[in-house]
Every structure is written in structure tokens, then in C-alpha cells.
Amino acid sequence: MQKPLILVSNDDGIDSRGIRHLVEVMSGLGEVVVVAPDSPQSGMGHAITIGNTLRLTPTDLFPGIDSYKCSGTPADCVKLAKHHVLKERKPDLVVSGINHGSNTSISVLYSGTMSAAIEAAIEGMPAIGFSLCDYGSKADFTHTLNYVEKIASEALAKGISKGVALNVNFPKKRGEAIKGIKICRQARAMWLEKFDQRVDPNGREYYWMAGEFVNFDKGEDNDEWAIENNYVSIVPCQFDMTAHHAITQMNDEWSI
């Protein structure tokens, strides 16, 4: 029986620890092809490269696995993988990550990790973005791997709804085992930014973005609650951003 074809990408760069773990797990589930950025692309969102060159270079970072580093964004990586690397072959699953940091709630909009997955969904391919909610330099990914395998196996066996990418976040490793998996919604939470005004050694002003993350959501069915309570969160995401309820309100109330 032919093995499933699995495309792996990320936003932390092809030499990150997270993608090494992801490739290792996916190699046990199917034939893996890797196309990932040649440098960190965190916070790039769904940016694509227009008007500049894109370079795609084979690598030997993953022995025995067809792998390439790309000079572009995570979304570029998926596009190049589909149209150039894989050509007529369509992946049975596209996975992105494992991201070193959280992509819960509003962060999904800024996330390069999830943009690779959403780009795959746009292209008609089942997709999952995996993220670990730990920003520490020595973050431990090992407690996530069984869940990565379980979720990917379920997706391969039973499918993902068309046009949907799964946003999977793992809690930071704690003294107790992860309690389980919650399929939930995106929390109503956001970053309240502030910009520190500073001066460089040449006397020129510059700004450094800072701020704090605030969760306004009191529900227990969202991704922030799941992570806080030591569950894996899965939020099904779609690229159709139409606010359907607003169509009715505008048709009823606006005079246009």
C-alpha cells in the first residue's frame, strides 16, 4: 500500500528544533517532503513574496528525506511545494510547526506557522499547524509528540473538512501529564501594545514594540482556557473571513 504523502513546513526556519521533531513523527506516518524557510519567519502572517526573487535550495538536514530551504515566507513555501516540488502529486496532509511559542486566540492572524497551514487549505489540502506555548530557550517538545502523532493519524484516517486548517496548541510541559484534547473555539483575547521610543548609538530614534496579552474571554470552551488548564487545544480555522451576521445588519439598517 502506498504511504500517505505528507508535506512539512514551519515559520521558525528549517534548522529549528520544532521542525526536527515534526519530521521525525511524520516519518512514521508516511512519505515526508520538507519545504521550509531558510531563516526565522515568525509573525509574518500570510505574507507572500511579490517583486523579489525566491530561491529554493535542496538540503541534507533530514537524511533520506526530500527537503528544501526557501528564501520566502511560510505561505511561499507551501505554494512552491505544491507547484514546483510536488508538481502533480497532491499531499494527503500538510503540517506546519512545531512552532516555538503560542498561536492561540488572536495570534493565529499573525502566525507564519498557521499561514502555511491556511495556505494549504486554500490550495485544497488538509492541513494542521502545531504550536507549543513555551517561549523559553530550552523549551521541551517531548510531551507533545504522542499528541502530534495521534492528531495527524486521525486527520489522515478520517479527513479534515474542506477549506479548514486545524490550529493545534500544546501547553508548556508541567509536573503533570497533559489532561487530554479539547476541540474548541478561538478565545476573545488580544495584545495591548505599547511602543517604547528609544535612541540608537547614532542618535536616531527608533521604536520597540512591547505590551501585554489580555484575555477578555470568561468561557471554558476556548483555546486559552484549554491551555491554561493543561489540555491540548484544537481550533478549526477557515480562510473565509466574511462576517455573515453583518450582511444582515447592513442590509436591514444601512441606506445604500
pLDDT, one tens digit per residue, over 190-234 is 989 999 999 999 999 999 998 888 999 999 999 999 999 999 999
Q: Kindly report the average pLDDT of the chain as a whole number.
A: 96
Could you tell me which residues are annotated as the binding site? 11-12, 42, 99
Q: What is the pLDDT of residue 1?
A: 67
Cell of 139: 523549551
- Cβ neighbours, 10 Å, residue 227: 23
Q: What is the mean pLDDT of residues 159-176?
A: 96
Strand duo 164-170 + 232-238: pairing: antiparallel
What does the pLDDT read at residue 88?
86
Cell 501594545 belongs to residue? 193
Closest by alpha carbon to 68, among 39, 33, 43, 96?
33
**Of 232, 248, 30, 15, residue with least CA distance to 126:** 30
Indicate the helix (H) or strand (E) that contains 154.
Answer: helix 145-158
Looking at the predicted structure, is the pLDDT value of residue 161 above 80?
yes
pLDDT digits (tens, 9 = 90+) for 129-140: 999 999 999 999
Compute how many other C-beta atoms are within 10 angstroms of the C-beta atom of residue 212.
8
- Which residues fall in the annotated binding site for a divalent metal cation? 11-12, 42, 99
What pLDDT does residue 111 have?
Answer: 96
Instruction: Please state the pTM of the whole predicted model.
Output: 0.94
pLDDT tens per residue, range 31-40:
999 999 999 9
How does residue 183 score in pLDDT terms, banded at 50, 70 and 90?
Answer: very high
Can you tell me the distance from the alpha carbon of 157 to that of 53, in angstroms, rounded to the nearest whole number?
38
The pLDDT of residue 16: 97
Cβ neighbours for 72, distance < 8 A, ≥ 6 positions apart: 37, 48, 49, 54, 80
- Using one digit for the tens of pLDDT, what is the confidence trace for 43-60? 889 999 999 999 999 999
Q: Which domains are delineated in the chain?
A: 5-188+219-253 (3.40.1210.10)
